[in-house]
Amino acid sequence: MALALLWVQLAIAAAFILSASVFLTKSADVIASKTGMGRSFAGLLLLATATSLPEMGTGVSSVALIGAPDMAIGAAFGSNLFNLMIIGLLDILWRNRYILHHVGMTSVVIGTLGIAVMSLAIIAVFLHRMSDVFSTWYLSPVSIALLGVFGLAMYSIYRFDQANQPPDHRGKEDKYPTHSLSVAAVTYILAASFVVGSAIWLSTIGGRLTDLLGWDESFMGTQFLAAATSLPELATSVVAIRMAAPELAITNLLGSNLFNMGFVLFLNDAAHTNGTIWVAASQVHILTATLSVLMTTVVVLAVVSRARSNRPGPITLESMLLIGFYIVASFLVFQLG
């Protein structure tokens, strides 16, 4: 009975996150339109940050409240995989041929910088498994580097996006003349707060399920928690393509991965008071991070290459690769976990 109740609670928490995500997407697009921010940077700054709050909430609470650091790391890496798989699903849902050919070069910049922080995370796992020099440090030097690269990436993306906007962008981009910027901002904050609260509840449920089912923390974090905390990315991205805003959807997903690696993992390490969190990291995360790098490379190359004009069928090569890599990763994590 207790197990069934936990699954029901998991479904309710996921539903709460899903519902709040719809308000996040609309309010973010209104803010982008009113401020002249542009959908690319809005997808990164507003949507990616907000939809990554569940990963931040579950990560910090997994470390600080239930003492499951490996589950926190797994949730961040697994979220990356799930977000990239969502891009494959969006390519199938998008009826206007090749969704990745309808986004700008800002997505390439975000994806490339995402590969850089994922590579740093791989180095962190390798470094702390090969040496215990930094095991007693409060923060790993790689975690500090992750935060630094994340900050530099955000600044670089902002400058790139602003440099590639037309001079009269601010005056022509207000698609919501009847909407209020202040109302949109309040809605955004409330929806984001709702997402964080539900995420903390999710991490508690995940820890109890892990204990009852006897599952490995890496598997629970990489598969179940990652999928649940990536529901905002899925919901907001689907809403975005229904609004004919593929740029908003793709930058949201790629930016969320950047946020997961650069900021969430840093906070997870800061929340772990018994030495650096990377000491508890399972080597299976090297696999998931490497597959995330490969999947991001597929996305970047697809955006850069725009030669094709005719869709060959209901599913593209990019979709098959992204979904296929995710299935392979899920199987291997289950086997190794």
Angle (CA) 285-99-233 rounded to 5° is 45
CATH topology of domain 2-336: A middle domain of Talin 1 (1.20.1420)
Task: Evaluate whether 228 touches 10 at the Cβ level (below 8 Å).
Answer: yes
Residue 257 is predicted with a pLDDT of 92
Residue 222 is predicted with a pLDDT of 57
| Residues 6 or more apart in contact with residue 307 via CB below 8 angstroms | none
Measured distance CA(269)–CA(63) in Å, rounded: 9
Structure tokens at 218: 């890496």
Measured distance CA(223)–CA(235) in Å, rounded: 18
Task: Evaluate whether 120 touches 145 at the Cβ level (below 8 Å).
Answer: yes
Measured distance CA(91)–CA(237) in Å, rounded: 11
Residue 173, CA distances (Å) to 38, 40, 157 in order: 8, 13, 20
Residues in the chain: 337
Task: Evaluate whether 241 touches 25 at the Cβ level (below 8 Å).
Answer: no
Measured distance CA(117)–CA(77) in Å, rounded: 12
List the chain pLDDT tens, one digit each, 337 residues.
577 888 888 788 878 877 887 787 778 778 877 777 766 677 677 777 777 777 787 778 778 877 778 878 888 888 899 899 999 999 888 866 678 888 888 889 999 999 999 999 999 888 887 777 777 777 888 899 999 999 998 888 888 877 776 655 544 556 777 788 889 889 988 988 887 777 777 767 766 776 676 665 556 555 666 777 777 788 778 878 887 878 888 988 998 899 999 899 999 888 887 888 888 888 888 888 999 999 999 999 998 886 555 555 667 888 899 999 999 988 887 676 5
Measured distance CA(148)–CA(142) in Å, rounded: 10
Nearest to 253 by CA among 220, 316, 300: 300
Per-position DSSP letters for 192-260, written without gaps between them: HHHHHHHHHHHHHHHHHHHHHHT--HHHIIIIIIHHHHTHHHHHHHHHHHHTT-HHHHHHHHHHHHHHI
Residue 98 is predicted with a pLDDT of 78
Residue 171 is predicted with a pLDDT of 47
Residue 147 is predicted with a pLDDT of 93
Structure tokens at 18: 């899903």
Measured distance CA(10)–CA(305) in Å, rounded: 41
Residue 325 is predicted with a pLDDT of 93
C-alpha radius of gyration, the chain, whole number: 19
Residue 170 is predicted with a pLDDT of 47
**Helix or strand holding residue 190 (H, E):** helix 181-213
Measured distance CA(124)–CA(103) in Å, rounded: 32
Structure tokens at 232: 């905002």
The angle, 0 to 180 degrees and rounded to 10, between the axes of the packed helices 284-304 and 317-336 is 180
DSSP class of 20: H
pLDDT digits (tens, 9 = 90+) for 200-258: 777 677 667 766 766 655 565 556 667 777 777 887 788 788 878 788 889 889 988 99
